[in-house]
Chain A
C-alpha cells in the first residue's frame, strides 16, 4: 500500500502539486489523468523518487523511504518513462542486461522477459532499428525487471496506433498481481483498465474514485438515438417530449433523446410501446471524459 500524506511539491513560488492525501491499495490499478501542466508528471516523479516532496511524506507499506530503505524500495518499483532513453548502438537484449545489472536482477531473467513482451525474435537487433511499438515494449520490459510490486507507467500508449494500444494493454494484463499507476491524457482508453482514477487540474485533485462511481455521481443524462419508421417519427417525438426529464431533438429522421438516469427505464418503456415502429435504438451512456469535461 502506498500512501501520500499531505504531500506537496513546489518549485520556488510555483505550486506544482497542492497538498495531496492519496492511498493506493496493493494490487490496485490507478489512472492519473489531467492536461499538460496539471501535475501528473510531478506526482509520478514523487512516487518513483526522482523528485522529493516539498512537504508531507510518501510511504510504502507504512515505511518512509529513508537512507537505509530506499534501495530495497526502488528495487520493488518498475518505472516506465514516457521517453525511453534508447542506447541505439546496443541490441534489445544488451539494453535490458544493462538495466538488469543496475537493478541487481539475475541476467537469466532477461531472455524470458523479452519473450514475454514479444521481442524474443528481435532481441539481438540494435534498438535503433526498433519501431515505436517495439521501443515501448522494451521500455515496459525494463520496468518489469525484478518482478516489481509497483509499476508506474508515464504516458505508456503515447504515439502508439490502435493496434499498438490494443497489444500493449493485452501485454499489461498478462502480468497481473501488482499495483499499477498509469498516467495518461487518453482518458477513455485507460480509464477502462483502472479500478480508480485520479483527475488532476492545476496541481489539485479534481476527482478521485472508481470510474462508474464518478459517472454515477455526475448524473449526466443517457442519450438514446432512435430510428423510427417514417410514419411514426412525428407521433413518437410528441410522446417523448411529454416526458418531464427528456430533452429531444430530431436528426435526419432519427429521434435523439437525452434522458435523466432516473427516468431511463420509463422512457425505454414508452419507446417499447411503439413496437415494430422502432427500427433501431442506440443507447450512449456518459463517459468519464464527458463527466470531467461537463459535456455530452
Chain B
C-alpha cells in the first residue's frame, strides 16, 4: 500500500475548510448557539428552574443541553453532502487522476470538515464559557473543559454524517437522512429509554439503562460533560442514571463513535468508488 502523502491531505483539508467556512448555514446555526449560550451565561439558569446569576452549575448544564441539541444538527448538516457533492461536481474524479489516493482524499475531506466544525463550535461556545466563569462560581477550567466533549460530540456526528452521505449517494437524500438521524439520536432515543423505564420499571436493572446510553453518542457526551463538570450534574439529577464507567471509558467510547462510522464510511467509499456507483 502506498504511504500517505500528508501534503496532499493538508491541501485537500485546507480547500475543504475554506469551502465549509463559506457556508451560511453553518454560521447561522453557530450564531444561534452563540446567542443562546450567551443568553444563558448572562441571564441565568431559568431553563432548568434556577433564576438569577450565581447558579453556575445549572447554567453549565443548560449549555450542555443546548450542545446536545444543536451540535449534532450542525455536524450532520455540514457533512450531509460530503464526498458525494465532489463526485457529482467532477472534483473527485479529477483528484483521482492526480497523484492522490482515494484514502488521502477522504482523510483530507474529513479533516477539512472537522476543522470547520471545530472553528464554528469554538466561536459559539468559548465566549459563553468565558462569561459563565466570570459571572458565576464555575471555575474557568471546568467551564472551558466542557469544550472538549463538545468537540468530540460534533466530530462523532460528523463521522456519522459521512456515513449517511455515502449511503444516501445524493446530496438531497443525504440532508433528509441526516435530519432523520438527528431526530432519532437527539429526540427519539431518550424517549424510548424513558418509555422503557416507565413501562418496565424495576424489571430493568439500573446498570442496563446506563449502559444503553452508550449506544447514543449524544448521551455519551452528556455523561462525559456532566462527569467533567460535576457542578452541572446535580441540577438535572443525572448522577442517578450514570453508568458504572469511568470518564476514561466514556471518552474511549466517544472515540469509538468517531472511528467506527469513519472507518465504515471510508470502507463504503472505497467499495462504491471501485464499482463506480458512488453517486
A residues neighboring B (CB under 8 Å): 11, 45, 48-52, 67-68, 70-72, 74-75, 77, 79, 81-85, 87, 89, 98-99, 101-104, 142, 152
Contacts and interface: CB of A to CB of B under 8 A. Distances in A.
Contact of B276 (A51, A74, A83): A51
Contacts of A101: 7-8, 11
Contact of B93 (A11, A50, A142): A50
Contacts of B93: 45, 50, 81
A83 B90 contact: yes
A81 B87 CA distance: 13
A103 B98 contact: yes
Given A70-B2, A84-B90, A102 B97 contact: no
B23 to A, nearest CB: 11
Given A70-B2, A71-B99, A84-B90, 10 more contacts: A48-B97, A52-B274, A82-B90, A83-B89, A85-B89, A87-B15, A89-B18, A101-B7, A102-B99, A152-B97
Contacts of B99: 70-72, 74-75, 102-104
B1 A74 contact: no
A127 B144 CA distance: 41
B72 to A, nearest CB: 28
A41 to B, nearest CB: 10
A93 to B, nearest CB: 15
Contacts of A83: 89-90
A50 B275 CA distance: 11
A98 B276 CA distance: 26
B94 interface: yes
A161 B99 CA distance: 33
A85 B91 contact: yes
B196 interface: no
A68 B8 CA distance: 17
Contacts of B95: 102
Nearest to A11: B276
B61 interface: no
B12 interface: yes
Contacts of B97: 48-50, 74, 77, 79, 81, 152
B96 interface: yes
A126 B241 CA distance: 55
Q: Give the one of B12, B90, B274 with max A CB within 10 A.
A: B90
B100 A102 contact: yes
Q: Give the one of A52, A68, A85, A101 with max B CB within 10 A.
A: A85
B22 interface: yes
A-B pairs with lowest CB-CB distance, top 9: A85-B91, A79-B97, A48-B97, A74-B99, A83-B90, A71-B99, A101-B11, A85-B89, A85-B90
Nearest to A75: B99
Interface string B1-13: 1100101100110
Contacts of A103: 98-99
Contacts of A102: 8, 11-12, 95, 98-100
B90 A81 contact: yes
A52 B19 CA distance: 30
